[in-house]
């Protein structure tokens, strides 16, 4: 043994130990190997037992007694408006599927099916391809949106057509799709992160709210899934149901909107490329109409999802998916003079006795600020509001300073979002010294205070905020917008604003003058209803400045047209705000829209009738909400 | 071949010679098993490479790179590094309860940024190396002495206890099996093994008391699966139905009804053998087991051809690991032992077990390449 000589490193004195150890390792390794073969033999014996001796027994178990557990998607709660009209509800979607593994021959099955449901050449190719690509136990969709007749016929014939299955899933149907799209929103398949949070989302046919109220109140609308346990035979057909826990339908939602008023508003907005309007019930804060144009049809997004159609909507001109009423941020322009006037009166820098003269231009240091026309002398606060004199408010703003103006603006509800169930609200900007330092790291300049006094410069707000501001001025209370009606809610008692009621009265009179007195800027938009006056304020906000002048197209250079209003002037019930993007003057573009929508609101007087009481109330089960029984 | 060893045994081999010395047929065998696994994962996913089969291919490639790197490295590094590696693994295992990530009721993972790994997997390799290192050092004439048993028992006991704390019964059992097997291979006297068996029988009732409820439940449903056919016995029962209904020839690739209809739990990980034998039948299952047995035989013969105790025991220890994995997994899915959550090596979906096995095979091939190497006492060093 020459090898053993080589082994003598480190153990030269006792070579026999090393040799012994080597032999012992070989012996034991073979023993271990033998044991491994033996234990593998046990495995082989076990497999033989299961797969050969007891195979028929297990085959029987596998074929005839297969238990399946299925989650059942719950029906989504429906959404109604205050009159009880359905805005969104689940509709049944009857579908036809095939399980290729259970077909004797897939083409034969499809031929048989085409006698009942038309199967086009394209569908046929798609099904054949899918069957080839994936396991035969994955169902392939043949047709959906079947009629009841087809569905019943298919179910009767199912024993003769192997591999065929029908099922009932649901899809979401939206009514008044154009006007309601922005508020109600739409549903879609759950995203990956949501699926990880809750595996129920993986259920076919389960949809999550993607936008609007559908998104905000998703959890409430969604409901709880149920389960079904049943036996299926070797052909995949249900033999019998073993038990089920029913799914629980999601809760219904009642909105404060009036679909009729909303439709009228939408129709009226359509004349313009981009415009939006908000109508509030000033007593309850309920949003009666909130429309934005351009709009889209959510039904195109949710049923038979077509990515091309979706992309087309998402990328269309002027972005129809954007809800301008809560996401459009505009310089409020002269509508902001209501705030400046109140703030000036509150600060004591102006009063009713003082008059100023407007030469058409205002000087601050070396800078010159122009008024839209030379109003001449004798301009007091009433005339300044009525005729929208810029010079008067330049001076008012300069006297009180930006911080006081900003504080009153915020007190009137500007510069914030509201927790009313509309997702994606923009905040707008109410600037002050601290804001500018934090945001731009620059000091505040006096000229910026002056232009903020007429709602230009850094100031921006959304139509919803302007409507809330108008409602607060009209009522003298800190009204907040609400979108969802609930029978449990008591009629809200909004806290009084911390402003002198006499000051509010002065401003309200100015706003009445704007619409109803001679030389008022919105004289042509006075209501035609006898004995009912509307109060309002026009605004025409400038878009162009020295920096962007050359980059903009003629359309983009045009001013935004704004109008805020409330009515009836003596006993306010409705407040509104309308913005027409690049619409020209507030008195010519925005005020007429508000006049028509306000007339409609006053004539229908939806706020005064209890919710659900009018159209189709008998058919509507559920809570009766009585909201606001008179202002 | 003889010429390759003309140099003194201690001299280092260059890469070209190492390439010649590598056991290529063994590598082909491993690849064949992995390919079976990829086909099975392709079928489980309903005939697509997503989400499992494709990723398994990538993991195999990464594993192969590691295997080569280890196979061609110097065996002396590993002899020197065996104890430090073991302590590293031990410290990491001890840290798991403190900084580990909990998943499925047990803390087993440590996250490092995007990656996460199980220190207990690292320990499986480190334990083999450390035990081999110990018996390389131990003079053969001292092996019968009782005090020579203390270090190896500590090496097995500490990680096993840490695994039980996590709690991970399967891994603790695996450590015990690998460690005891290596002690047996190293030549520890039969009497000690006899004594240990007696001790286990005595201690068993005590251990039962210490088990977690879910572990007790697993043992109980193992003894009588029909006890709760919809609860924890469901897995075993469905697994048996699936395997049994496969019959002699199976239901055909991608046609296993039980697996495809989602009756099987964890069908792509621990229960992949079930799905495989449902679709491929008794014949397919036997072929797969034969492939594993062949791989075990290869490892055994590689171990026998090594001259140093370290190389022998490294190869032998990895062989034991592979055997323990395969046996426990197949016995588990066929209802012979309780469900303990052990994957089928190289076939089950999962990066950690794949990488552990490939690294292990890297060490086997390293031992094989260095089969003629002997260590001088100075190279081995002392007990530590």
**Coil/strand/helix, residue A155:** helix
Query: What range does the domain containing A381 cover?
Result: 259-608
B contacts of A58 (beta carbons < 8 Å): 240-241, 243-245
* Shortest Cα distance, chain B CAs vs residue A497, angstroms: 54
* Shortest Cα distance, chain B CAs vs residue A120, angstroms: 26
pLDDT digits (tens, 9 = 90+) for A134-155: 666 667 888 878 888 988 888 8
Please compute the mean of the pLDDT values over residues A409-438 and round it to a whole number. 93
pLDDT band at A66 (very low <50, low <70, confident <90, very high): low
Cβ atoms A601, A288 nearer than 8 A:
yes
How confident is the model at residue A385, as a pLDDT? 94
Which tokens is A25 given? 């390792």
What are the strands, taking DSSP E only, across A427-550? 484-485, 535-541
**Coil/strand/helix, residue B280:** helix
How confident is the model at residue B310, as a pLDDT? 93
Decide if A140 is inside a domain.
no
The shortest CB-CB distance from A10 to any of B184, B242, B376 is to B376
pLDDT band at A1 (very low <50, low <70, confident <90, very high): very low
* Shortest Cα distance, chain B CAs vs residue A17, angstroms: 6
d(C-alpha B158, C-alpha B164), whole Å: 10
How confident is the model at residue B156, as a pLDDT? 94
How confident is the model at residue A5, as a pLDDT? 46
B contacts of A135 (beta carbons < 8 Å): 43, 46-47, 254-255, 260
pLDDT band at A6 (very low <50, low <70, confident <90, very high): very low
d(C-alpha A233, C-alpha A63), whole Å: 6
Cβ atoms A225, A71 nearer than 8 A:
yes
A contacts of B138 (beta carbons < 8 Å): none
Cβ atoms B302, B371 nearer than 8 A:
yes
The shortest CB-CB distance from A48 to any of B43, B186, B282 is to B282
pLDDT for residue A252 is more than 70: yes
pLDDT for residue A8 is more than 50: no
CA-nearest residue to B313 within chain A is A25
Cβ atoms A440, A342 nearer than 8 A:
no
Q: Which residues are CB-contacts of A217 (< 8 A; sequence separation ≥ 6)? A: A209, A253, A421, A484
d(C-alpha B98, C-alpha B119), whole Å: 13
The shortest CB-CB distance from A51 to any of B43, B282, B309 is to B282
CA-nearest residue to A14 within chain B is B141
Question: Does A32 contact B184 at a Cβ distance shorter than 8 Å?
Answer: yes
How confident is the model at residue A317, as a pLDDT? 86
Decide if A575 is inside a domain.
yes
Least-confidence region, from A74-83, A331-340, B3-12: B3-12
B contacts of A45 (beta carbons < 8 Å): none
Q: How many domains does chain A have?
A: 2
Q: Which of B189, B241, B248 best probes binding to A when mutated, by most A CB atoms within 10 angstroms? A: B241
* Shortest Cα distance, chain A CAs vs residue B94, angstroms: 31
Least-confidence region, from A83-92, A118-127, B261-270, B354-363: B261-270
Decide if A171 is inside a domain.
no
Cβ atoms B235, B339 nearer than 8 A:
yes
* Shortest Cα distance, chain B CAs vs residue A154, angstroms: 24
Count CB pairs under 8 A between chains A and B. 159
Nearest to B277 by CA among B316, B250, B308: B250
pLDDT for residue A187 is more than 60: yes
How confident is the model at residue A125, as a pLDDT? 86
The shortest CB-CB distance from A47 to any of B245, B292, B334 is to B334
Question: Does A10 contact B375 at a Cβ distance shorter than 8 Å?
Answer: yes
pLDDT digits (tens, 9 = 90+) for A282-301: 998 999 999 999 999 888 87
* Shortest Cα distance, chain B CAs vs residue A227, angstroms: 15
Question: Does A36 contact B293 at a Cβ distance shorter than 8 Å?
Answer: yes
How confident is the model at residue A197, as a pLDDT? 60
Q: Which of A10, A16, A17, A62 best probes binding to B when mutated, by most B CB atoms within 10 angstroms? A: A62
Decide if A176 is inside a domain.
no
For chain A, what percent of residues have pLDDT higher than 90? 50
Question: Does A32 contact B316 at a Cβ distance shorter than 8 Å?
Answer: yes
Q: CA torsion, points A106, A109, A115, A117, in degrees to nearest 10?
A: -70
Decide if A226 is inside a domain.
no
Q: Which residues are CB-contacts of B63 (< 8 A; sequence separation ≥ 6)? A: B354, B355, B357, B358, B359
**Count, residues in chain A:** 631
How confident is the model at residue B259, as a pLDDT? 59
Q: At what angle do helices B309-333 and B272-305 cross, to 10 degrees?
A: 160
How confident is the model at residue A269, as a pLDDT? 94
d(C-alpha A254, C-alpha A214), whole Å: 12
Q: Which of A50, A61, A64, A137 best probes binding to B when mutated, by most B CB atoms within 10 angstroms? A: A50
The shortest CB-CB distance from B244 to any of A3, A54, A232 is to A54
Please compute the mean of the pLDDT values over residues A496-516 and round it to a whole number. 94
* Most distant CA pair in chain B, distance: 66
Q: CA torsion, points A149, A154, A157, A159, in degrees to nearest 10?
A: -150
The shortest CB-CB distance from A50 to any of B243, B303, B375 is to B243
Question: Does A58 contact B243 at a Cβ distance shorter than 8 Å?
Answer: yes
Strands A253-255 and A79-80: what pairing? parallel
What is each CA distance from B222 to A202, B332, B340, in whole angstroms?
Answer: 32, 9, 10
d(C-alpha B348, C-alpha A186), whole Å: 42
A contacts of B303 (beta carbons < 8 Å): 29
* Shortest Cα distance, chain B CAs vs residue A171, angstroms: 26
* Shortest Cα distance, chain B CAs vs residue A225, angstroms: 20
Decide which of A492 and A519 is more confident. Answer: A519
The shortest CB-CB distance from B304 to any of A26, A42, A234 is to A26
Question: Which residue in A334, A388, A541, A587 is the catalytic one?
Answer: A334
Nearest to A278 by CA among A270, A570, A269, A317: A269
Low-confidence residues of chain B, pLDDT below 70? 1-12, 100-116, 167, 218-219, 221-234, 257-266, 383-384
Helix (H) or strand (E) holding A18: helix A15-48
Nearest to B291 by CA among B244, B326, B338, B318: B326
Q: Which of A1, A19, A22, A25 best probes binding to B when mutated, by most B CB atoms within 10 angstroms? A: A25
Helix (H) or strand (E) holding A98: strand A86-98
Strands B115-117 and B106-112: what pairing? antiparallel
Decide if A122 is inside a domain.
no
Helix (H) or strand (E) holding A567: strand A560-567
| A109 φψ region: left (φ > 0), alpha (ψ -120 to 50), beta (else) | alpha
CA-nearest residue to B273 within chain A is A47
Question: Does B327 contact A40 at a Cβ distance shorter than 8 Å?
Answer: yes
CA angle A442, A443, A445 (to 5 degrees): 120
The shortest CB-CB distance from A46 to any of B255, B296, B336 is to B336
- Residue position matching structure tokens 């032998």: B316
Cβ atoms B360, B125 nearer than 8 A:
yes
Decide if A11 is inside a domain.
yes
CA-nearest residue to B298 within chain A is A33
ipTM of the complex in this document: 0.89
d(C-alpha B318, C-alpha B373), whole Å: 19
The shortest CB-CB distance from B257 to any of A26, A43, A62 is to A62
Q: Identify the CATH number of the domain in which residue A573 sits.
A: 3.40.710.10
**Coil/strand/helix, residue B113:** coil
- Residue position matching structure tokens 């162009």: A544
Decide if A450 is inside a domain.
yes
* Shortest Cα distance, chain B CAs vs residue A193, angstroms: 17
* Cβ burial, residue B334 (10 Å; 0-12/13-18/19+): buried
pLDDT for residue A258 is more than 60: yes
CA angle B248, B253, B258 (to 5 degrees): 75
pLDDT band at A395 (very low <50, low <70, confident <90, very high): very high
Cβ atoms A298, A323 nearer than 8 A:
no
Strands A86-98 and A164-174: what pairing? antiparallel
Question: Does B240 contact A6 at a Cβ distance shorter than 8 Å?
Answer: no
Q: Which residues are CB-contacts of A114 (< 8 A; sequence separation ≥ 6)? A: none
B contacts of A67 (beta carbons < 8 Å): 263
**Count, residues in chain B:** 384
Nearest to B328 by CA among B313, B314, B345: B345
Decide if A169 is catalytic: no
Q: Which of B225, B245, B378 best probes binding to A when mutated, by most A CB atoms within 10 angstroms? A: B245
Nearest to B239 by CA among B222, B255, B227: B222
CA-nearest residue to A30 within chain B is B300
Which tokens is A245 given? 């826990």
What is each CA distance from B196 to B145, B174, B187, B273, in whole angstroms?
Answer: 16, 16, 15, 33
Beta-carbon-side half-sphere exposure of residue B224 (alpha carbons within 13 Å): 4
CA-nearest residue to A27 within chain B is B185
Can you give the pTM of this predicted structure?
0.58
How confident is the model at residue A613, as a pLDDT? 38
Nearest to A388 by CA among A335, A351, A424, A439: A335
β-partners of residue A244 are: A228
What is each CA distance from B79 to A117, A189, B8, B67, B151, in whole angstroms?
Answer: 74, 57, 19, 17, 17
Cβ atoms A563, A334 nearer than 8 A:
no
Question: Does A29 contact B47 at a Cβ distance shorter than 8 Å?
Answer: no
Please compute the mean of the pLDDT values over residues A411-418 and round it to a whole number. 94
A contacts of B293 (beta carbons < 8 Å): 36-37, 40
């Amino acid at each position: 043994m020459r090898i053993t000589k080589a082994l003598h490193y480190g153990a030269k004195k006792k070579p026999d130990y090393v040799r012994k150890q080597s032999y012992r390792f070989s012996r034991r390794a073979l023993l271990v190997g033998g044991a491994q073969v033996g234990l593998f033999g046990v495995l082989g014996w076990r497999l033989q037992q299961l797969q050969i001796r007891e195979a028929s027994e297990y085959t029987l178990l596998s074929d005839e007694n297969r238990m399946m557990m299925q989650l059942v998607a719950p029906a989504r709660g429906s959404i109604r408006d205050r009159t009880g009209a359905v805005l969104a509800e689940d509709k049944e979607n009857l579908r036809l599927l095939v399980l290729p593994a259970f077909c004797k021959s897939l083409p034969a099955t499809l031929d048989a099916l085409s006698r009942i449901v038309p199967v086009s050449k394209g569908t046929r190719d798609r099904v054949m391809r899918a069957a080839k690509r994936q396991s035969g136990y994955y169902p392939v969709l043949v047709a959906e949106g079947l009629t009841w007749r087809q569905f019943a016929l298919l179910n009767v014939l199912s024993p003769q057509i192997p591999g065929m299955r029908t099922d009932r899933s649901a899809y979401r149907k939206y009514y008044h799709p154009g006007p309601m799209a922005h508020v109600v929103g739409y549903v879609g398949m759950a995203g990956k992160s949501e699926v990880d949070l809750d595996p129920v989302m993986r259920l076919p046919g389960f949809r999550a709210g993607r936008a609007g109220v559908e998104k905000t109140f998703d959890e409430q609308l969604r409901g709880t899934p149920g389960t079904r346990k049943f036996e299926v035979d070797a052909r995949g057909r249900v033999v019998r149901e073993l038990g089920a826990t029913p799914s629980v339908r999601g809760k219904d939602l009642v909105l404060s909107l009036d679909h009729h008023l909303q439709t009228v508003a939408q129709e009226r907005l359509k004349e313009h490329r981009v415009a939006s309007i908000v109508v509030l019930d000033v007593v309850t804060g309920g949003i009666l109409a909130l429309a934005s144009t351009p709009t889209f049809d959510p039904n195109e997004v949710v049923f038979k999802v077509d990515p091309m159609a979706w992309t087309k909507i998402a990328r269309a001109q002027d972005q129809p998916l954007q809800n301008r009423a809560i996401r459009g941020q505009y310089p409020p322009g002269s509508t902001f003079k209501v705030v400046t006037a109140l703030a000036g009166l509150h600060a004591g820098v102006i009063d009713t006795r003082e008059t100023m003269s407007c030469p058409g231009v205002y000087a601050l240091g070396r800078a010159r600020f122009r008024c839209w026309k030379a109003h001449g002398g004798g301009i007091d606060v009433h005339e300044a509001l009525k005729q929208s004199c810029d010079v008067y408010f330049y001076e008012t703003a300069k006297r009180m300073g930006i911080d006081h103006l900003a504080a009153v603006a915020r007190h009137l509800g500007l510069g914030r979002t509201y927790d009313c169930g509309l997702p994606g609200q923009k905040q707008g900007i109410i600037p002050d010294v601290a804001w500018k330092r934090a945001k731009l790291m620059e000091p505040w300049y006096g000229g910026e205070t002056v232009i903020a006094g007429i709602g230009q410069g850094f100031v921006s707000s959304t139509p919803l905020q302007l409507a809330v501001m108008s409602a607060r001025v009209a009522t003298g209370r800190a009204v907040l917008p609400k979108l969802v009606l609930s029978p449990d809610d008591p009629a809200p008692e909004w806290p009084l604003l911390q402003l002198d009621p006499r000051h509010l009265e002065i401003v309200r009179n100015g706003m009445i003058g704007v619409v109803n007195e001679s030389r008022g800027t919105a004289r042509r938009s006075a209501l035609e209803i006898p004995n009912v006056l509307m109060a309002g304020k026009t605004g025409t906000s400038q878009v162009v400045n020295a920096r962007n002048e050359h980059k903009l197209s003629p359309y983009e250079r045009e001013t935004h047209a704004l109008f805020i209003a409330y009515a009836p002037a003596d006993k306010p019930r409705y407040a509104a705000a309308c913005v027409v993007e690049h619409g020209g003057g507030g008195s010519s573009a925005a005020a007429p829209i508000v006049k028509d929508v306000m007339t409609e609101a006053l004539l229908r007087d939806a706020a005064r009738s209890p919710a659900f009481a009018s159209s189709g109330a008998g058919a509507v089960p559920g809570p009766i909400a009585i909201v606001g029984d008179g202002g | 071949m003889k010429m390759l060893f003309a140099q003194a045994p201690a001299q280092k081999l260059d890469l070209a010679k190492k390439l010649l010395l590598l056991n290529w047929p063994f590598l082909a065998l491993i690849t064949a098993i992995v390919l079976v696994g990829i086909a099975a994962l392709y079928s489980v996913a309903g005939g697509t490479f997503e989400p499992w089969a494709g990723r398994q291919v990538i993991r195999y490639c990464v594993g192969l790179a590691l295997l080569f790197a280890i196979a061609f490295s110097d065996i002396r590094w590993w002899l020197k590094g065996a104890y430090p590696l073991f302590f590293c693994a031990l410290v990491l295992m001890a840290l798991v309860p403190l900084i580990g990530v909990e998943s499925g009721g047990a803390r087993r993972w440590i996250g490092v940024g995007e990656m996460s790994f199980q220190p207990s997997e690292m320990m499986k390799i480190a334990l083999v190396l450390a035990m081999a290192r110990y018996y390389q050092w131990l003079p053969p004439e001292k092996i019968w002495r009782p005090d020579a048993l203390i270090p190896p028992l500590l090496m097995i006991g500490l990680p096993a206890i840490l695994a039980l704390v996590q709690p991970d019964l399967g891994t603790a059992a695996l450590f015990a099996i690998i460690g005891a097997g290596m002690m047996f291979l190293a030549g520890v006297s039969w009497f000690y093994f006899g004594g240990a068996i007696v001790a286990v029988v005595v201690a068993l009732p005590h251990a039962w008391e210490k088990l977690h409820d879910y572990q007790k439940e697993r043992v109980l449903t193992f003894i009588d699966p029909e006890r709760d056919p919809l609860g924890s016995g469901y897995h075993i029962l469905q697994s048996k139905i699936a395997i049994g209904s496969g019959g002699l020839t199976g239901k055909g690739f991608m046609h296993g009804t039980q697996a495809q209809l989602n009756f099987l739990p964890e069908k792509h990980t621990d229960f992949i053998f079930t799905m495989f034998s449902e679709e491929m039948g008794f014949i397919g299952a036997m072929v797969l087991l034969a492939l594993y047995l062949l791989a075990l035989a290869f490892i055994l013969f590689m171990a026998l051809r090594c001259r140093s105790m370290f190389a022998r025991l490294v190869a032998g220890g990895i062989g034991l690991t592979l055997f323990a994995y395969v046996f426990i997994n197949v016995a588990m899915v066929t209802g012979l032992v309780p469900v303990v959550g052990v994957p089928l090596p190289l076939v089950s979906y999962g990066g950690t077990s794949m990488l552990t096995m490939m690294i292990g095979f890297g060490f086997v091939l390293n031992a094989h390449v260095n089969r003629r190497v002997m260590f001088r006492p100075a190279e081995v060093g002392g007990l530590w």
